[in-house]
Amino acid sequence: KFGWLMRGLVAFGFHLMGETVFWLKSLYQLGFVCFLISIFGLGKILFKVFSELTGKDYFLN
């Protein structure tokens, strides 16, 4: 009697789970990229300070 409704709800549920996984993966990747940028940014600042303290320029920039 309500088989079509159950099939529709199950399909919709799987669709929602897929969308949720997609958004979570995107957010995770975005966070990972921000994390890497912050690490490289901090590394650049630390190397700059270190090269100024030691008087040697290890990197061109």
Determine contact, residues 12/19, Cβ cutoff 8 Å: no
Structure tokens at 7: 């099939």
User: Which residues, given as ranges, of the chain have pLDDT below 50?
Assistant: 61
pLDDT value of residue 6:
84
> Residue with structure tokens 């309500």?
2
| Euclidean distance between CA atoms 61 and 58, whole angstroms | 9
